[in-house]
Chains A and B, each alone.
Chain A
Amino acid sequence: MSATEPLLDVRGVTLQYKTREHLVTATYRVDFKVFQSDRFILLGPSGCGKSTLLKAVGGYMKPVEGEIRLKGRAVSKPGPDRMMVFQEFDQLLPWKTVKQNVMFPLCASGKHSNADAEAKALDYIAKVNLTKFADSFPHTLSGGMKQRVAIARGMAMEPDVLLMDEPFAALDALTRRKMQDELLQLWDDTQFTVLFVTHSIPEAIKIGSRILLLSPHPGQVKAEMNSLPRGAEGSSEEKELEKRIHGMLFADAVETEQAIHV
């Protein structure tokens, strides 16, 4: 595949889901393209359908309009070529140790033999600094450690694209910061492609290389922009970009009640 061809191509995707009383349109004709080694951020306030969009890329729901293509093939069902990292801490299988959790998808998908999978799992567990806890069960770990295991599990599969659904949202501010730095370090190591959902503007700027802004109810593309180069934290450019994004997202003043977490 040439570098100019998109890895993930989302074209005119409209997503709807049913609640008990309503048919809700989550996103309306959203387009974006993700290229190899992008750190692509879906940013928007709650209710802009960004998580729904990620689930659609994950193959958990079908668009009513438009299509999602991964490496040119239409996405129709969940699969290990798009590993998900969820927000919830209970995404690890409680009956498996850290190592077994990382190994399980490697073996279950038939991608690796047992011995292979073990070596690979230990390798990625080391990358997220959890070697000491390889044989611990998830319930003995802290929230941040659980998320690190989930990230290791996702990366060990070496998926075409890693899907992250607000993975740090449930963490305390100090841990979240540390995790963001670690994620960037991991990216320096392996240059994986990641599609990252967040509602925090600073997090988007810090982690992302490219940011897609979505407006709420239903989610539509408001803008797609490049983020700042790494290490711009605290600089005046960062403040400016933050302000600009904030302005764009909350231009429709009615919706500003939704507080943005920082």
Chain B
Amino acid sequence: MSENVGAVERREVVRSTVDAAQFGIVEKPLSPLERLYNISALRKALILVALAVIWEIYARLLNNPLLFPTFVSTLEAFVQGFVSGGLLGKAWTSIKILLIGYSAGIALAALLTVVAITSRVGTDLLETLTSMFNPLPAIALLPLALIWFGLGAGSIVFVLIHSVLWAVALNTHSGFLSVSNTLRMVGRNYGLRGLPYVARILIPAAFPSILTGLKIGWAFAWRTLIAAELVFGVSSGSGGLGWFIYENKNQLEIPNVFAGLFTVIVIGLLVENVIFRTIETRTVRKWGMQS
């Protein structure tokens, strides 16, 4: 005790470890139910089914097809619309214009961002323009667009570009700015400069932000398009989905109005959950830039 005041004396312990084969569970596959629950598409489908059921029950209780048709009759109108071809054609008209506006908006955004990252004046220009125009609802420009471009696809494309451009440019630019200095130095170390440097280092490195911008731009464009068609109706002979909704409301074909809205929702869901989701899993998720 005298040599070791206050300390408890302990021996050295050396143990041999148990062989892994003798453990009860080291790795065990998940049960089928657990695995099914891990599929996000399935979980979302369940939510959709639940919503449809609630819709159906509520509409039946209300029993007023003029105010709120049942899910089944909406579905019928939807299928009817597809079979007779009217709805499909209208949707295609809308999507066509949307794609023109969306891609033109992205192209302009790319141009603006390249100017912004290559010069300080460009940065100021982008920042000023986005803070001026981003809060401005695209629909507010439609009256002006109609005077400039007339009643037709031209004015709708114009407001679409407006709704896409600023969101995409803003996100892409902030994505470029947040690329880590190390990655920039790595890129320059390889002797990359100018456009190859932007294309092979900056764009992939900023891809999570760019993708977010594309998603927001898509949602803005889709909304703007339907609203523009609703307000100003027909463009160049055959109207789009918004016009379909407006027309059927006037004729009190409420299930058809719902079918039109339903189409808007379905297209939105498809683009978000199929197209953007696929891009996401193949890029940013695979690269571990987003969990």
Q: Which of B24-65 contact A (CB under 8 A)?
A: none
Q: How far is B201's CA from A94's CA once the two chains are assembled, in angstroms?
A: 10
Q: Does B186 contact A (CB under 8 A)?
A: yes
Contacts of B189 in A (CB 8 A): 58, 78-80, 82-84, 105
Contacts of B191 in A (CB 8 A): 78-80, 108-109
How does the 8 Å CB contact mask read for B166-204 relative to A, with 1 for contact and 0 for none? 000000000000001011011011111000100011001
Q: Does B93 contact A (CB under 8 A)?
A: no
Q: Does B283 contact A (CB under 8 A)?
A: yes
Known: A58-B189, A95-B204. A90 touches B183 (CB 8 A): yes
A86 touching B204 by the CB < 8 A rule? no
Q: Does A60 contact B (CB under 8 A)?
A: yes
B185 touching A109 by the CB < 8 A rule? no
Categorize the interface residue count of chain B: 20 to 34
Contacts of B287 in A (CB 8 A): 94-95, 137, 139
How does the 8 Å CB contact mask read for A68-94 relative to B, with 1 for contact and 0 for none? 000000000111101110101011011
Which A residue sits closest to B188, measured CB to CB? A78
B190 touching A91 by the CB < 8 A rule? no
Neighbour of B185 across the interface among A78, A108, A138, A140, CB < 8 A: A78
Categorize the interface residue count of chain A: 20 to 34
Q: Does B289 contact A (CB under 8 A)?
A: yes
Q: How far is B121's CA from A176's CA once the two chains are assembled, in angstroms?
A: 46
Contacts of A60 in B (CB 8 A): 185, 188
B182 touching A90 by the CB < 8 A rule? yes
Which B residue sits closest to A79, measured CB to CB? B191
Q: How far is B183's CA from A91's CA once the two chains are assembled, in angstroms?
A: 6
Q: How far is B183's CA from A94's CA once the two chains are assembled, in angstroms?
A: 10
Question: Which of A78, A80, A82, A140 counts the most B-chain CB atoms under 10 A from its CB?
Answer: A78
Q: Which of B63-120 contact A (CB under 8 A)?
A: none
Neighbour of B204 across the interface among A83, A93, A139, CB < 8 A: A93
Q: How far is B185's CA from A83's CA once the two chains are assembled, in angstroms?
A: 11
Contacts of A80 in B (CB 8 A): 189-191
Contacts of A88 in B (CB 8 A): 180, 182
Q: How far is B190's CA from A104's CA once the two chains are assembled, in angstroms?
A: 9
Contacts of A108 in B (CB 8 A): 190-192, 196, 200
Question: Which of B186, B286, B287 counts the most A-chain CB atoms under 10 A from its CB?
Answer: B186
Q: Does B135 contact A (CB under 8 A)?
A: no
Which B residue sits closest to A58, measured CB to CB? B189
| Nearest chain A CB to B178 CB, angstrom units | 12
Q: Which of A84-134 contact B (CB under 8 A)?
A: 84, 86, 88, 90-91, 93-95, 104-105, 108-109
Which A residue sits closest to B204, measured CB to CB? A95
| Nearest chain B CB to A191 CB, angstrom units | 22
Q: How far is B192's CA from A77's CA once the two chains are assembled, in angstroms?
A: 11
B190 touching A84 by the CB < 8 A rule? no
Q: How far is B287's CA from A137's CA once the two chains are assembled, in angstroms?
A: 6
A109 touching B190 by the CB < 8 A rule? yes
Contacts of B222 in A (CB 8 A): none
B286 touching A91 by the CB < 8 A rule? no
| Nearest chain A CB to B172 CB, angstrom units | 16
Q: Does B258 contact A (CB under 8 A)?
A: no
Q: How far is B8's CA from A36's CA once the two chains are assembled, in angstroms?
A: 58
Q: Does B6 contact A (CB under 8 A)?
A: no
Q: How far is B186's CA from A139's CA once the two chains are assembled, in angstroms?
A: 17
Contacts of B283 in A (CB 8 A): 95
Q: How far is B188's CA from A58's CA once the two chains are assembled, in angstroms?
A: 10
Q: How far is B184's CA from A58's CA once the two chains are assembled, in angstroms?
A: 13
B204 touching A140 by the CB < 8 A rule? no
Q: Does B207 contact A (CB under 8 A)?
A: yes
Q: How far is B189's CA from A86's CA once the two chains are assembled, in angstroms?
A: 11
Q: Which of A46-73 contact B (CB under 8 A)?
A: 58, 60
A84 touching B288 by the CB < 8 A rule? no
A84 touching B186 by the CB < 8 A rule? yes
B190 touching A93 by the CB < 8 A rule? no
Contacts of A140 in B (CB 8 A): 288
Q: How far is B185's CA from A82's CA once the two chains are assembled, in angstroms?
A: 12
Question: Which of B180, B185, B189 counts the most A-chain CB atoms under 10 A from its CB?
Answer: B189
| Nearest chain B CB to A168 CB, angstrom units | 16
- Not counting A60-B185, A95-B204, a sample of 9 additional A-B residue pairs whose C-beta atoms are within 8 angstroms of each other reads A58-B189, A78-B191, A80-B189, A82-B189, A93-B186, A93-B201, A105-B189, A137-B286, A139-B288
> Lowest 7 CB-CB distances: which A-B pairs, in order?
A139-B288, A78-B188, A94-B287, A105-B190, A95-B204, A88-B182, A95-B287
Instruction: Please list 23 pairs of residues, one from A and one from B, whose beta carbons are closer than 8 Å in the complex, sorted by A's number.
Output: A58-B185, A60-B185, A78-B191, A79-B189, A80-B191, A82-B189, A84-B186, A86-B182, A88-B180, A90-B180, A90-B183, A93-B205, A94-B287, A95-B207, A95-B283, A95-B289, A104-B190, A105-B189, A108-B191, A108-B196, A109-B191, A137-B287, A139-B287
Binding site for B on A (CB under 8 A): 58, 60, 77-80, 82-84, 86, 88, 90-91, 93-95, 104-105, 108-109, 137-140
